[in-house]
Amino acid sequence: MKIALIVLIPFLGALLPLLLIRAGRNVCTIAAASVTGLALVILLTTVPEVYSGTVPRFSAEWLPALGLSASFFIDGLGLFFAALILGIGFLIIIYTRFYLDRSDPMGRFFAYLLLFQGSMVGIVLSDNILLLTVFWELTSLSSFLLIGFWYHLPESRAGARMALVVTGGGGLALMGGMLLLGNIAGSFELSEILTRGEAIKASPLYLPMLLLILLGAFSKSAQFPFHFWLPHAMAAPTPVSAYLHSATMVKAGVFLMARLWPALAGTPEWFLIVSLTGLVTMVIAAWIALFKDDLKALLAFSTVSHLGFMTMLLGLGTRSAVIAAVFHILNHATFKAALFMSAGIVDHETGTRDIRKLGGLRHAMPITAILAVLACASMAGVPLFNGFLSKEMMLEEASHTVYAGQAWLFPLLATVGALLSAAYSARLAFHVFFGTARHDTPKHPHDPPFGMWLPVAVLIVPVIAIGLAPAFFAGAIVERTALAAAGGALPPYYLALWHGLTPALAMSVTALGGGLLALWLYLPLNGLRLAVPRPDAMTLFQAVITALVVASRRIIDTIDNRDLTRYLGVIMVAICVFGLAGFFGATHAPGDRATLAVTLPALIGWAVLLAACGLIVLRHQDRLFALIVTSVVGLVVSLAFLQFSAPDLALTQISVEVVTTILLLLAINLLPRTTPDEMPRRGKLTAGAIALIAGGGTAALAYAVMTRGFDTISTYHIENSKPGGGGTNVVNVILVDFRGYDTFGEIIVLAIAALTIYALLDSALRGAAARRLDAIRNGPQANPQAHDPHPLLLTVVTRALLPISVVAGIYILLRGHNMPGGGFIAGLIVAIAFLMQYMASGYAWAHQRARLDAHTMIGGGVALAGVTGLVSLLFNRPFLTSSFGYFHFPLFGEVELASAMAFDIGVFFTVVGTCLLSLATLSRVEDRAEPPDDHGRRA
Amino acid sequence: MNMTMSMEMLLATGIGAMTAVGVYLILHRRTFPVIMGLTFLSYAVNVFLFAMGRLAIDLPPIVSKTAAGYTDPLPQALVLTAIVITFGMTALIVVLSLRAYLETGSDDVGLGVPPDSADPDGRRDGAAP
């Protein structure tokens, strides 16, 4: 649990600065520093354990089926990196306090920083590689926020976006690689994976998996050819550059390669790809760094170069090279973070980071100058500083590396890299702090406040201490870390200042001397560089992104042309294709089930249906006519239900038909009366062809099914309808009992539809829609008949019919359990009776007299049905279990009461409410469009 | 195999005709034919589902001692709710198209494609009637 806390504390603590910024910048800083400090202290309590050789673990299951678990462990490597992240993080926080301006939102900055810190610690302590990938993505996201912290600056935004695209894209590749790795190893736990190196390397999927993982690692660590994003990320505030782009995030890729080293390294593929990528990065980035005039850009490319240095060492695949890599990670973290902070101080104090405008700062800011020059010396690889030692070890490894049969390649390029490294370090030291003092900087420079240079000084201490007595100060750390990274015993090695007259020493001396020479020849060299055309990363990147956007837009414009008709056409064609494929892929011949003889009424109905279908195709432009024809089809359908032993369906269909027709009539009144015949002949033929295929297929399918025998599951329902559900109308018992849950869901859908209709229409009485309604009322389309008052005869008859219809409806509702009827049908009948009042007497009249609000009916109906279901829970029966009994009532005699009846009443009210709400709202809108009648009032 | 006239044949061809009309109408560009088309498709689908319980005459699924047998009640129960839901859906799209018409003055189902970027054969007029 303690281990998980180390990861969790920064995440939880990220809230503190946001809350405490109101209490002032100092409190905010203290809060952020305490969070980091607390995590660091907890981490350090594990040191005795880890350094005695045990590995503390914590594991909690998360998604075991996917292999994802929240498991953490601390070994030497994890401890080393976590300590770097938290330790340097702590110093950065203090530095930030003095770096950020009063106008900068410090609370937000610290919150982002802590989020990032937690993600980084998560990467280095994760035992599960999926969890590691999650944290990996989190660092990409939180670094995006940090790089874009000054989001008012365009280059901040551009840099942040570029970093996100590159590292996020790499993260995707990494995810794929990790999934492959987990599948190959048979486990997603690192501790398992690291023991299965042989099996992993022998797998046929090794190469794709390796490439994907390396893609993630290289893009994160800015290795060639992904080195371009890092300098642009330098638009971030300096503390971010110092923290993310030197000490931590860019090392995540190196960490990952070290972490997986026992499982992946040692193959020819690994050696060929990783070592060469590292070496090329080291040289190219150092060359670029030498000519950067921006301090931070110089440091950024120098970081890329040093990351290449570490990558190359890990790529060599020998354990001694791992030791050198680990040692250099430690050394680089100290001097580079110190340099970044020094650059920040220079920028802060002089107002510029341009080396060409700086010089002689040792007079104005002696403390900063001393610290920075010491760090530069270490970066250059001057003896007595820690940078010298690890560079020496690197040169030693390179000196006996044979790459693809070429023994000269690695020693030469490694020396060139070291030479360039010495050159840019010297340039930084001499051109900024030495030489003649400049007095034309935007600000008058002096040493910064104590809090700003102290973190630098703290980092310079190990630079010198390790440089003088490496074995004493760093021996244990390097050994424990390298043991964990190499996953086994280490070859003999000595961390010492003097190794005798070795080839590495010669290379080292060449590099230092050559570096100074290069600086002396700076101007001619720069001329040479300028003579060679160089690609500008940002321009290329933007061009690629723009091209991608244009290409996507083109594809989208082709596919998504916002023409819904075409979408439907495509969908229909697809359905036909799949349907036909299925149809002809299996037997579709009619079966031998006994068919029913045709009767004359059926034949007439069929003929009417076909005639109606033909008529509507020819004359659907006349909308009223189309509506009438549609109703005829609806009638034939209900007659068909009646013919084929489905009285409930017939009743439902006919009442729905009435309600739908009223609804469409109301709508037609406001819509255009005709559909323009605008479809070209070709379009009609295409649509017709699709329609014929769809119709023919459906007909053939229906016929094939109907003529075959089948086993029904309904025997159960018929047998249990009376004894189990208490009703003889099996359809109704299925609805309210067997499948009551479905029905419950369906009335809820109805209720939602009704409320949506209400919402759509209620707001139509305002804005553009209302103006158009007024236009219809006054415009030429206004129907002269609408001036007629409500027809007297209709009014009288409907009012007289109302009670009769309601009684009939209630009768149908109550008998539904045993005879055709039920809540749905009764609801529709009663709704029609009420709608007649709206039609005959007008909206206002009917609305005034409506006792029950339609909303109440809908809500009450759904509630009643739900409560009925819940009651059965009280009796320890499942939701919606029906119970019934027989009761004796005076006058009525024996009456059966089933709880399903209450459910059906709920259905009834929902249906009535839905119909009334939809149509009444529609008629209210209609009312608005009606011209005032002769009495000058609106009906 | 019996392909002569039968009730099954009548119903199957009826379903096919309604489906064809429905598909034909929904491929139009105005809301009203699309709504009509959906209504036809709903009829077709409901009857199709109902027909999956096979056809029977005078065998309603109402339990009684004198009944000679029962037709399959399950598809009927499914179709009954389907009919009511169809109503809800139809009402919703009718109102949706009505509101869209009132709001924009057009009952075109396209999503506001400017006339010049529409199909080359210039089917769209874009104007409100």
**Domain assignment present for A119:** no
Q: Which distant-in-sequence residues (6+ apart) come within 8 Å of A498 by Cβ?
A: none
Write down the pLDDT at residue A558. 83
Q: Is the pLDDT of residue A934 over 60?
A: no
Degrees to nearest 5, angle at CA A908 with A904 and A912: 170
pLDDT tens digit string along A66-85?
888 899 999 999 999 999 99
d(CA B98, CA B112) in angstroms, rounded, equals 16
Residue of B nearest to A713 (CA): B74
pLDDT bracket for residue A738 (50, 70, 90): confident
A 557-586 residues with CB below 8 A of B?
Answer: 561-565, 568-569, 572
Three-state DSSP state, A674: strand
Higher local confidence (pLDDT), A9 or A881: A9
Residue A833 backbone phi and psi in degrees, to 5: -60, -40
d(CA A44, CA A37) in angstroms, rounded, equals 10
Query: Would you call A675 and B28 a contact, using CB atoms and an 8 Å cutoff?
Result: yes
Higher local confidence (pLDDT), A649 or A404: A649
Cα–Cα separations (whole angstroms), residue A134 to A13, A369, A734: 19, 41, 49
pLDDT bracket for residue B128 (50, 70, 90): very low
d(CA A542, CA A548) in angstroms, rounded, equals 10
* A617 vs B: CB within 8 A: yes
As given in the structure block, the two tokens for residue A668 are 């037609």
Write down the pLDDT at residue A939. 38
Burial A120-154, CB ≥16 within 10 A → b, else e: bbbbbbbbbbbbbbbbbbbbbbbbbbbbbbeeeee
Lowest mean pLDDT among A222-231, A236-245, A758-767, A784-793: A784-793
Write down the pLDDT at residue A691. 94
Q: What is the distance, to the nearest Å, from the Cα of residue A496 to the centroid of all Cα atoms in its chain?
A: 50
Q: Which distant-in-sequence residues (6+ apart) come within 8 Å of A332 by Cβ?
A: A246, A303, A306, A310, A387, A390
d(CA A226, CA A722) in angstroms, rounded, equals 75
Structural domains in chain B? 11-55+70-110 (1.10.287.3510)
**Domain assignment present for A363:** yes
Residue with tokens 């020479």: A517
Element (H, E) at A888: strand A884-889
Q: Is the pLDDT of residue A758 over 80?
A: yes
As given in the structure block, the two tokens for residue A7 are 């990861």
How many beta-carbon pairs below 8 A join chains A and B? 345
The answer to whether A772 and B106 are in contact (CB under 8 A) is no
d(CA A327, CA A474) in angstroms, rounded, equals 8
Mutation target for B interface from A624, A666, A730: give the one with most B CBs within 10 A: A730
Degrees to nearest 5, angle at CA A94 with A88 and A99: 110
Closest CA to A395 of A379, A417, A411: A411
Mutation target for A interface from B31, B43, B62, B65: give the one with most A CBs within 10 A: B62
Q: Is the pLDDT of residue A849 over 50?
A: yes
Q: Which distant-in-sequence residues (6+ apart) come within 8 Å of B49 by Cβ?
A: B75, B78, B79, B82
How much helix, strand and coil, in percent to the nearest 5, is found in chain B?
60, 0, 40
pLDDT tens digit string along A528-575?
878 777 777 778 888 888 999 999 999 988 887 778 888 889 999 999
Residue A265 backbone phi and psi in degrees, to 5: -80, 165
The C-alpha of A576 sits at a distance from chain B's nearest C-alpha, in angstroms, of 11
**Domain assignment present for A372:** yes
Prior bond of A225 cis (ω within 30°):
yes
Q: Is the pLDDT of residue A122 over 90?
A: yes
Element (H, E) at A59: strand A57-63
Sign of CA dihedral A805, A811, A816, A818: negative
Cα–Cα separations (whole angstroms), residue A107 to A73, A99, A102, A455: 31, 14, 11, 21
Prior bond of A723 cis (ω within 30°):
no
d(CA A893, CA A888) in angstroms, rounded, equals 5
d(CA A822, CA B73) in angstroms, rounded, equals 15
d(CA B32, CA B129) in angstroms, rounded, equals 13
As given in the structure block, the two tokens for residue A344 are 């920040």
* Of residues B9, B54, B64, nearest to A710 (C-beta): B54
Closest CA to B37 of A38, A687, A845: A687
d(CA A691, CA B28) in angstroms, rounded, equals 12
Query: Would you call A705 and B51 a contact, using CB atoms and an 8 Å cutoff?
Result: yes
As given in the structure block, the two tokens for residue A937 are 């009032």
Name, of A34-48, A148-162, A757-771, the range with top average pLDDT. A34-48
Closest CA to A347 of A98, A105, A171, A545: A98
Write down the pLDDT at residue A921. 85
**Domain assignment present for A599:** no
As given in the structure block, the two tokens for residue A340 are 């970044």
Tell me A898's DSSP state.
E
pLDDT tens digit string along A787-843?
566 778 888 888 888 889 889 988 888 888 888 888 899 999 999 888 888 878 877
Contact list, B41 vs chain A (CB under 8 Å): none
**Domain assignment present for A213:** no
Lowest mean pLDDT among A132-141, A414-423, A518-527, A909-918: A518-527
Cα–Cα separations (whole angstroms), residue A267 to A112, A190, A195, A589: 39, 19, 16, 62
pLDDT tens digit string along A605-649?
999 999 999 999 999 999 999 999 999 999 999 999 999 999 999
Residue A789 backbone phi and psi in degrees, to 5: -70, 170
Among the candidates A499, A531, A563, a domain finishes at A531
**Domain assignment present for A538:** no
Among the candidates A478, A498, A531, a domain finishes at A531
The C-alpha of A168 sits at a distance from chain B's nearest C-alpha, in angstroms, of 34
Burial A358-394, CB ≥16 within 10 A → b, else e: bbbbbebbebbbbbbbbbbbbbbbbbebbbbbbbbbb
Lowest mean pLDDT among A487-501, A612-626, A891-905: A891-905
d(CA A161, CA B39) in angstroms, rounded, equals 50
Closest CA to A467 of A361, A381, A409: A381
Query: Would you call B119 and A700 a contact, using CB atoms and an 8 Å cutoff?
Result: no
d(CA A640, CA B51) in angstroms, rounded, equals 11
d(CA A903, CA A747) in angstroms, rounded, equals 11
The answer to whether A219 and A175 are in contact (CB under 8 A) is no
Write down the pLDDT at residue A896. 63
Q: How confident is the model over A205-231, as a mean pLDDT? A: 90
pLDDT tens digit string along B46-90?
999 999 988 888 888 888 888 888 889 999 999 998 998 999 999
Write down the pLDDT at residue A181. 94
Write down the pLDDT at residue A932. 52
Query: Would you call A623 and B81 a contact, using CB atoms and an 8 Å cutoff?
Result: no
Query: Would you call A911 and B31 a contact, using CB atoms and an 8 Å cutoff?
Result: no
Closest CA to A225 of A177, A266, A166: A166
Higher local confidence (pLDDT), A97 or A883: A97
* A680 vs B: CB within 8 A: yes
* Residue A439 CB neighbours (<10 A): 10
Write down the pLDDT at residue A799. 85
The C-alpha of A811 sits at a distance from chain B's nearest C-alpha, in angstroms, of 17
* Residue A635 CB neighbours (<10 A): 17
Query: Would you call B20 and A692 a contact, using CB atoms and an 8 Å cutoff?
Result: yes
Mutation target for B interface from A671, A701, A862: give the one with most B CBs within 10 A: A671
**Domain assignment present for A910:** yes
The answer to whether B49 and B79 are in contact (CB under 8 A) is yes
Closest CA to A214 of A248, A184, A177: A177
Write down the pLDDT at residue A930. 62
The answer to whether A193 and A200 are in contact (CB under 8 A) is yes
Report the largest interatomic distance among the alpha carbons of chain A, rounded to a whole angstrom.
Answer: 122
Write down the pLDDT at residue A175. 95
Write down the pLDDT at residue A671. 86
The answer to whether A232 and A163 are in contact (CB under 8 A) is yes
Query: Would you call B102 and A735 a contact, using CB atoms and an 8 Å cutoff?
Result: no
* Of residues B10, B29, B35, nearest to A598 (C-beta): B10
pLDDT tens digit string along A568-594?
899 999 999 999 898 888 887 888 888
Contact list, A919 vs chain B (CB under 8 Å): 91
As given in the structure block, the two tokens for residue A460 are 């310079």
Write down the pLDDT at residue A937. 44
Q: How confident is the model over A428-456, as a mean pLDDT? A: 83
Contact list, A707 vs chain B (CB under 8 Å): 2, 8
What is A367-420 written as a DSSP string? Answer: HHHHHHHHHHHHHHT-TTSHHHHHHHHHHHHHHT--BTTBTTHHHHHHHHHHHH
Beta bridge partners of A210: none
The answer to whether A508 and A418 are in contact (CB under 8 A) is yes
Q: In whole numbers, what is the pLDDT of chain A averaged over residues?
A: 87
Q: What is the domain extent for residue A757?
A: 729-939
**Domain assignment present for A914:** yes
Q: What is the distance, to the nearest Å, from the Cα of residue A414 to the centroid of all Cα atoms in its chain?
A: 43
Q: Is the pLDDT of residue A781 over 60?
A: no
Query: Would you call B73 and A572 a contact, using CB atoms and an 8 Å cutoff?
Result: no
Mutation target for B interface from A553, A559, A596, A828: give the one with most B CBs within 10 A: A596
Query: Would you call A702 and B51 a contact, using CB atoms and an 8 Å cutoff?
Result: yes
d(CA A183, CA A425) in angstroms, rounded, equals 46
Name, of A114-118, A541-545, A671-675, the range with top average pLDDT. A114-118
Three-state DSSP state, A895: strand
Among the candidates A482, A499, A531, a domain finishes at A531
Query: Would you call A734 and B74 a contact, using CB atoms and an 8 Å cutoff?
Result: yes
Q: Is the pLDDT of residue A498 over 80?
A: no
As given in the structure block, the two tokens for residue A816 are 């539904």
Question: Letter for the amino acid at A754?
Answer: A
Write down the pLDDT at residue B122. 37
Higher local confidence (pLDDT), A452 or A307: A307
How much helix, strand and coil, in percent to the nearest 5, is found in chain A?
75, 5, 20
Query: Would you call B23 and A683 a contact, using CB atoms and an 8 Å cutoff?
Result: no
Contact list, A596 vs chain B (CB under 8 Å): 6-8, 55, 57
Q: How confident is the model over A235-260, as a mean pLDDT? A: 86
d(CA A367, CA A369) in angstroms, rounded, equals 5
Q: In chain A, how many domains are there? A: 2
The answer to whether A816 and A822 are in contact (CB under 8 A) is yes
Question: Letter for the amino acid at A534?
Answer: R
* A793 vs B: CB within 8 A: no
Three-state DSSP state, A894: strand
- Reading phi first (left if > 0) and then psi (alpha if -120 to 50, else beta), residue A392 is in alpha
